[in-house]
């Protein structure tokens, strides 16, 4: 029963899985855990809607008037990932 409680009450893990799913990299087990959590968590359901909207807005901002996408260079991506990891590891 402890495993089920962990799945149900862990919003931090759920938001991680939501973001991971948006990138298309979620396992079958993670998908089940997320579904179980979302059954009872309206806050995480709202997080999904907000994240999807933010992603849409960012994608539209990164498109040039000609319709070509602006791509970020690998150095910028690596530096951004380091900053994100640093912030996540503070908690």
Stretch 34-57: mean pLDDT: 93
Exposure string over 10-19, b if 16+ CB within 10 A, otherwise e:
beebbbebbe
At 87, the pLDDT band (50, 70, 90 cuts) reads confident
Please report, rounded to a whole number, the percentage of residues in the chain having pLDDT higher than 90.
Answer: 45
Residue with tokens 């150095």: 75
**Neighbouring C-beta atoms of residue 37, cutoff 10 Å:** 22
Question: Could you tell me the CA-to-CA distances from 78 to 5, 32, 60 in Å, in that order?
Answer: 36, 31, 22
Chain segment 6-25, per-residue pLDDT in tens? 666 689 999 999 999 998 88
In this model, does residue 65 exceed pLDDT 80? Answer: no
Predicted local confidence at residue 18, as pLDDT: 95
Q: Would you say 52 and 22 are in contact if contact means Cβ atoms under 8 Å apart? A: yes
pLDDT for 69: 66
User: pTM score > 0.75 for this model?
Assistant: no
């Amino acid at each position: 029963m402890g495993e089920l409680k962990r799945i149900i009450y862990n919003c931090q893990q759920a938001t991680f899985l939501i973001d991971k799913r948006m990138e298309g990299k979620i396992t079958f087990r993670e998908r089940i855990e997320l579904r179980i959590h979302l059954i009872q968590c309206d806050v995480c359901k709202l997080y999904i809607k907000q994240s999807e909207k933010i992603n849409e807005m960012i994608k539209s901002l990164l498109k040039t008037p000609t319709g070509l996408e602006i791509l970020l260079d690998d150095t910028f991506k690596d530096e951004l990932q380091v900053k994100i990891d640093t912030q996540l590891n503070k908690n």
